[in-house]
């Protein structure tokens, strides 16, 4: 008798073949892991029946690292060895540490040229290693709950994470033994979860305010396709900043200039966080922290007090909201829904200000803490091969333009910002000097016209280019950004087939909020940048003309010019060189025109000489055949 394989609606047709995959929300303050079980995505609980795992790791000698709530409990008694908010330093450098509040609470090894590391009793720990320990905890929770080994995970990152931060996240996953199916922007993950629940089509704003980062994204959602129209944010703004501001307010009210030690500061931060959470559901509350007979921090705080404290911080989230609307070319009225994501959106003032900005009620029907992990789990289930009836197509974008440095320190943008990824785009370049056999390629990121105003990502060289006259070589440069937002660049000389390439792992050192500042600066300096670019292009053209005429003079100037004619051209070259040292584009242009006019007779004589040399020794009939053949080719 033949047996029919039967499955419940929404389940795989072959449950025993289901591949275990999870979605991970690796957060600054808290982390979660979720999976699709019986056709429904849900967050998995740990051994303490908690679905939220604090992103905290405690290190001690002769013991395995503690992760989560048990580590958080060690913060007051052993603050330097209890690491939190490590995500803020993912892919960052020494300068970022010094500019961050973390520098006041931890001891760091900031050796030049290396990844900054927290100093602990078990040695230096980078943000990557701390994150790897958190991911290991999440992996163990998932495998214990699901009853098997994971085939992979979709890990979410802030939309404004740059290449270095994304690569650091992948490195942390590799250390924890997790295969990354894909890195997924947090707002996009939220859109996946929200779109499945509500079936909404149209433009949706995802306002994501977590513990350490803020993102705002506009997504066009239609028939299961989620396309990011524009994204902006602040990589150094979140609930942690609210806690620090409230703690400072309490300390100041108590008449203290600073806390006596790290342990007391940690206790004050925990109190501030508790007060913030209480005032999300009540009008006022009292607080007390007795550190000693001399130090007592206590009093009463109201919702109005907290609102006054955090309102300046919240206003910093509205500028990126305006930015994405401009980038997408839409009005507020075009936004069909505003989805709140992240634990910090539980604060009533956040919801009020965002609602007033978009002129509509915000949507909070999905748990703002869980929605990112749930969306990541849905995508992980698809990528693992557990197909559902609702296959999703996710179209993320790159946050900043990618390009190359060209002569004159100019930026040639290859892939503009807000281009949907994955993407591959090529552009041809050529050599600048005669006989050039190598080319240095400088990959940059940013919106400004000059390299000095953009961020350097990587440098590499293309060597063994055929030595030809300037402009004769054809070099194709290919930029490829994969689905995780990671960039690779290759350069190919078409005639010889010489190839060079690089996977861009940018140098560490992107300061907090630099991306937002770069976008703002590009708008503020737009007119100025256009003028600077025009000046730089004139200088490049001037140097090219000088190079070409100087080379010709050196080759046969004495043959075709009298002494006086040579002197006149030399004087015109000298004048142009002087103008090139100045910042007057019109003067440079006039000097170029005078040099070209003054050397036109010399150029004509050289061309005539070349023609005579070509014709020498040929019969009239042979020349006629050559000319006829040439005319026929042109007609063809």
CA distance 87 to 29: 9
d(CA 393, CA 384): 15
Choice among 133, 208, 241, 449 that is catalytic: 208
329 dihedral zone (left: phi>0; alpha: psi -120 to 50; beta): left
CB 418 within 8 A of CB 231: yes
The span from the CA of 189 to the CA of 302, in Å, is 35
Measured over the CA atoms of residue 101, residue 104, residue 107 and residue 113, the dihedral's sign is positive
- In degrees, rounded to 5, the angle at the alpha carbon of residue 424 between the alpha carbons of residues 418 and 430 is 105
Question: Which of 171, 237, 229, 158 shows the shortest CA–CA distance to 485?
Answer: 158
488 in Cβ contact with 470 (< 8 Å): no
Cβ contact 323:232 at 8 Å: yes
- Whether 583 is a known active-site residue: answer no
What tokens were used for 369?
């803490």
**Closest to 505 (Cα-Cα) out of 206, 115, 84:** 115
Please check whether residue 197 is in contact with residue 186, taking contact to mean a CB–CB distance below 8 angstroms: no
Enter the DSSP assignment of 363: B
Q: Which is catalytic among the residues 171, 186, 493, 512?
A: 186
Q: Are 231 and 401 in contact (CB under 8 A)?
A: no
Pair 579, 591: CB distance under 8 Å: yes
Instruction: For residue 157, give both structure tokens.
Output: 């990152």
DSSP-derived secondary structure letter, 450: B
Residue 120 near residue 86 (C-beta atoms within 8 A): no
Catalytic residue among 46, 74, 87, 227, which?
87
CA distances from 308 to 32, 211, 385 (A): 31, 19, 50
Whether 87 sits among the annotated catalytic residues: the reply is: yes
Burial 229-242 (b: 16+ CB within 10 A, else e): bbbbbbbbbbbbbb
Cα 89–chain centre separation: 14
Q: Can you point out the beta strands (E) in 463-585?
A: 475-481, 487-493, 499-503
Assess whether 484 carries a catalytic annotation: no
Q: How many CA atoms lie within 13 A of 288 on its CB side?
A: 3
Catalytic status, residue 143 = no
Dist CA 22 CA 19 (whole Å): 10
To 5 degrees, how large is the angle CA 460–CA 466–CA 468?
A: 115
- Catalytic residue IDs: 25, 87, 186, 208
């Amino acid at each position: 008798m033949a047996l029919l394989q039967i499955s419940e609606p929404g389940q795989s047709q072959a449950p025993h073949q289901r591949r275990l995959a999870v979605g991970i929300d690796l957060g600054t303050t808290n982390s979660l892991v979720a999976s699709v079980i019986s056709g429904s995505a849900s967050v998995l609980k740990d051994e303490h029946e908690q679905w939220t795992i604090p992103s905290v790791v405690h290190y001690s000698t002769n013991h395995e690292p503690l992760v989560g709530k048990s580590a958080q409990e060690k913060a007051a008694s052993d603050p330097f060895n209890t690491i939190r908010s490590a995500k803020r330093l993912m892919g960052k450098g020494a300068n970022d540490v010094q500019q961050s509040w973390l520098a006041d609470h931890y001891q760091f090894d900031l050796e030049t040229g290396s990844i900054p590391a927290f100093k602990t009793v078990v040695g230096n720990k980078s943000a990557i290693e701390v994150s790897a320990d958190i991911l290991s905890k999440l992996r163990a929770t998932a495998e214990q709950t699901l009853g098997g080994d994971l085939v992979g995970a979709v890990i979410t990152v802030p939309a404004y994470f740059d290449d270095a931060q994304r690569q650091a996240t992948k490195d942390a996953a590799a250390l924890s033994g997790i295969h990354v199916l894909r890195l997924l922007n947090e707002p996009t993950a939220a859109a996946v979860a929200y779109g499945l629940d509500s079936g909404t089509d149209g433009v949706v704003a995802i306002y994501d305010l977590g513990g350490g980062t803020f993102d705002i994204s506009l997504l066009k959602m239609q028939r299961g396709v989620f396309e990011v129209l524009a994204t902006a944010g602040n990589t150094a703004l979140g609930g942690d900043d609210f806690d620090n501001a409230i703690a400072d307010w309490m300390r100041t009210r108590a008449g203290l200039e600073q806390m006596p030690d790290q342990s007391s500061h940690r206790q004050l931060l925990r109190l501030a966080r508790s007060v913030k959470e209480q005032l999300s559901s009540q009008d006022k509350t009292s607080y007390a922290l007795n550190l000693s007979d001399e130090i007592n921090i206590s009093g009463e705080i109201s919702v109005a007090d907290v609102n006054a404290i955090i309102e300046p911080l919240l206003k910093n989230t509205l500028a990126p909201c305006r930015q994405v609307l401009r980038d997408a070319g839409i009005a507020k009225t075009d936004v069909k829904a505003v989805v709140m994501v992240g634990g910090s959106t539980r604060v009533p003032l956040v919801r009020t200000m965002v609602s007033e900005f978009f002129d509509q009620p915000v949507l909070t029907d999905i748990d703002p803490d869980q929605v990112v992990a749930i969306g990541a789990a849905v995508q992980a289930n698809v990528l693992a091969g557990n197909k559902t009836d609702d296959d999703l197509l996710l179209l993320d974008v790159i946050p900043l333009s990618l390009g190359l440095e060209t002569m004159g320190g100019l930026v040639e943008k290859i892939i503009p910002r807000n281009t949907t990824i994955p993407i591959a785009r090529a552009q041809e370049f050529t050599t600048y000097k005669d006989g050039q056999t190598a080319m240095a390629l400088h990959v940059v990121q940013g919106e400004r016209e000059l390299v000095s105003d953009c961020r350097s990502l990587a440098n590499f060289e293309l060597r063994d280019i055929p030595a030809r006259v300037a402009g004769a070589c054809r070099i194709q440069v290919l930029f490829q950004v994969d689905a995780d937002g990671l960039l690779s660049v290759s350069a190919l000389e078409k005639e010889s087939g010489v190839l060079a390439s690089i996977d861009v792992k940018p140098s560490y050192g992107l300061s907090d909020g630099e991306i937002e500042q770069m976008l703002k600066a590009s708008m503020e300096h737009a007119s100025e940048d256009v003028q600077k670019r025009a000046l730089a292009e004139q200088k490049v053209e001037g140097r090219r003309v000088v190079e070409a005429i100087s080379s010709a003079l050196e080759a046969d100037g004495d043959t075709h010019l009298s002494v006086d004619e040579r002197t006149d051209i030399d004087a015109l070259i000298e004048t142009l060189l002087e103008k090139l040292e100045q910042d007057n584009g019109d003067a440079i242009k006039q000097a170029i025109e005078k040099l070209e006019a003054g050397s036109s007779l010399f150029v004509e004589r050289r061309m005539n000489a070349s023609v005579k040399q070509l014709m020498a020794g040929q019969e009239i009939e042979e020349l006629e055949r050559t000319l006829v053949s040439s005319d026929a080719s042109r007609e063809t």
